Amino acid sequence: MMHNNTIQDDRGYSLLELILAMAIMLIVLGLTFSLFGKSLSTRQRESSRTDALTAAQAALNVISREISNSGYGLVTNGIISGDSNDRQLHIMANLNNDLAVSDQGEDITYFYEPATQSILRYDANRNGVGSGETSIIINRISNVEFRYFDYVGANPVGSEVLPATASKVNTGRVRVRITVALEPTEGQPNPVNVQLISDVTLRNADYMLQQY
Q: Is-above-0.85 flag for pTM? A: no
Instruction: Enumerate the domain spans of the chain.
Output: 43-209
Residue 136 bridge partners (DSSP): 120
Residue 180, amino acid: V
Could you tell me which residues come within 8 angstroms of residue 111 by beta carbon, excluding any fewer than 6 positions away?
87, 88, 89, 119, 120, 122
Query: Tens of pLDDT along 123-171?
Result: 998 877 667 899 998 888 888 999 888 876 544 545 566 554 555 777 8
CA angle (20 as vertex; 18, 25 as ends), nearest 5: 95
Position 111 scores a pLDDT of 93
Band of residue 207 on the pLDDT scale cut at 50, 70, 90: low
In what helix (H) or strand (E) does residue 194 lie, and over which residues does it extend? strand 192-201
